[in-house]
Amino acid sequence: MTQLHLAVALDGAGWHPAAWRSPDARPAELFTAAYWKSLVADAERGKLDFVTIEDTLTIQSADRFAADERTDQVRGRLDATLVAARVAPASASIGLVPVATTTHTEPFHVSKAIATLDYVSSGRAGVQIRGGGLGGEVALFGRRDFPELSWEALQAPEVQQLIAELFDETADFVDVVRRLWDSWEDDAEIRDAATGRFIDRDKLHYIDFHGRWFSVRGPSITPRPPQGQPLVTALGHSTVPYRLAARQADVVFVTPLDAAGGRQILNEVRQETAAAGRGGELRVFADLLVFLDSDKAQLDEWDGAELRSDARIVAGTPAELADTIEELGSIGYDGVRLRPGVLPTDLTAIADRLVPELQRRGLFQPRYDEPTLRGRLGFARPASRYLEGAVR
């Protein structure tokens, strides 16, 4: 059996909307550095490959298309990239992958922020690209005129067209972010006192990107980050995002609900990867929402509804969860990303009970041999795409 990769997705008090009401939850601390440091320390104790940190620009809502007025669920969150940067010097080995929204933001800013996260974490940075863009996000920026969204409007051809375009824009965004990371060759800084030159400017490159939604000249203001290319990840539920991931990402998170669905998704992702000419360069992770030591029934009762999720929900023992993970591994998944139902309860259980079980079964090796996140996932450090390129 091949070794699997293991990640956790961190979000507020956990992925159940009532998680914050659990006895072990720390709801008053969700906006403190100490809380995030302790979560990342738990994950690092289990020697997980990386954590992702959720983010959206809009406030959480039970209504997918608009802010609701509920007071009984977690509302509010901090900027995920800054949370990742804050915990970076407090951790040593684990990968840090914040979510970054692409639609109303600047690729130039996101590129240098993730490059800097790579510097402050000594090569452990990644980013989860989130397209977003519609719904309440539009008014927060007030720069673009998008139609209002609802379940009914979702199937309208013009809305479907717009969503497809937003994915195209996201693809351009990632392309620019990646080009900017490459825009300084690794050895551009020469400090040559004899000629008085700090850099060899022939090793800095204008990216000169011209797209439908934006143009970016470059180079970055930030030198090439330690990993060269920090890890790019994305979550997808259908063909269009799979295609985006196949073209632009290193890791895609998908949401198979059972073994049959898992095979189907994997086939589709592989087709897209082959079509993009990137066979074997995309790691596919299955997302699972897990309850190990928390009481899902009690949480559902508090929330007044049974939990619904895009991802498969597994409530059981570490051995039962390990069975599910083993099955996904046998189908051909490269890893799983676990969304703990309650933090820190279910994260602690992952680190202290699931990991030993997976190790016993030979499914996961809890050790940090490779210093960089890319290295942990079996990726080499890429050369800059501009290395051979024409130089002004």
Partner 1 sequence: MTKPRKQIILGHYLGGVNHSTVWSDPAAGSQIDFSSFRHAAQTAERGKFDFFFLAEGLVLRERLGRIFDQDVIGRPDTLTVLAALAEVTDHIGLVGTLNSTFNEPYELARQLASLDHLSGGRAGWNVVTSSDAFTGRNFRRGGFLKREDRYVRAQEFLAVVRQLWDSWADDDLVADPQSGHFVRRGDAGSFAFAGQQFDVSGRFTVPRSPQGQPVILQAGVSAEGREFAAGGGPDAIFSPYHRLAEAQPFYRDIQERAKRNGRQPGSVKVLPGGSFVLGDTEADAVERHREIARAQITGRGAQILLETVWNRDLSGYDPDGPLPDVDPDPDAPPVIQGRARIHQDPSATVAEWRAIAEENKYSLRELAIHVFGHVEFVGTPTQVADRLDEFVQNDGSDGFIIGSHLTPTGLDEFVDRVVPLLQERGSLRTEYEGTTLRDNLGLPAPARPGDRVAG
- Shortest gap between Cβ of 143 and partner 1 (angstroms)? 7
- Shortest gap between Cβ of 16 and partner 1 (angstroms)? 13
Cross-strand partners of 87:
none
- Shortest gap between Cβ of 216 and partner 1 (angstroms)? 6
- Shortest gap between Cβ of 232 and partner 1 (angstroms)? 17
Pick between residue 209 and residue 359 the one whose CB is nearest to partner 1: 209
Contacts of 216 (CB under 8 A, 6+ apart): 107, 108, 176, 180, 207, 209
Pick between residue 65 and residue 261 the one whose CB is nearest to partner 1: 65
- Shortest gap between Cβ of 276 and partner 1 (angstroms)? 26
- Shortest gap between Cβ of 364 and partner 1 (angstroms)? 29
Say how far apart CA 165 and CA 180 lie, in whole Å.
22
DSSP string over 68-98: ---SSS------HHHHHHHHGGG-SS-EEEE
DSSP at 316: S
Pick between residue 36 and residue 291 the one whose CB is nearest to partner 1: 36
Nearest to 98 by CA among 133, 39, 61, 56: 56
Is residue 47 a contact partner of residue 366, using CB atoms and an 8 Å limit? yes
Say how far apart CA 392 and CA 44 lie, in whole Å.
45
Pick between residue 189 and residue 300 the one whose CB is nearest to partner 1: 189
Say how far apart CA 256 and CA 84 lie, in whole Å.
28
Pick between residue 202 and residue 310 the one whose CB is nearest to partner 1: 202
Pick between residue 198 and residue 279 the one whose CB is nearest to partner 1: 198
